[in-house]
Amino acid sequence: AQSVTQLDSQVPVFEEAPVELRCNYSSSVSVYLFWYVQYPNQGLQLLLKYLSGSTLVESINGFEAEFNKSQTSFHLRKPSVHISDTAEYFCAVTPGGRSNDYKLSFGAGTTVTVRA
Partner 1 sequence: GAGVSQSPRYKVAKRGQDVALRCDPISGHVSLFWYQQALGQGPEFLTYFQNEAQLDKSGLPSDRFFAERPEGSVSTLKIQRTQQEDSAVYLCASSSSIAPGQGAGNTIYFGEGSWLTVV
Residues in contact with partner 1 by CB under 8 A are 4, 6, 9, 32, 36, 41-46, 49, 51, 90, 92, 94-96, 99-109
CA distance 15 to 10: 16
- With respect to partner 1, which residue has the nearer C-beta, 30 or 80? 30
CA distance 16 to 39: 19
To partner 1, the closest distance from the beta carbon of 29 in angstroms equals: 11
To partner 1, the closest distance from the beta carbon of 8 in angstroms equals: 13
To partner 1, the closest distance from the beta carbon of 19 in angstroms equals: 19
Contact 27, 33 (CB under 8 A): no
- With respect to partner 1, which residue has the nearer C-beta, 15 or 27? 27
Contact 21, 8 (CB under 8 A): yes
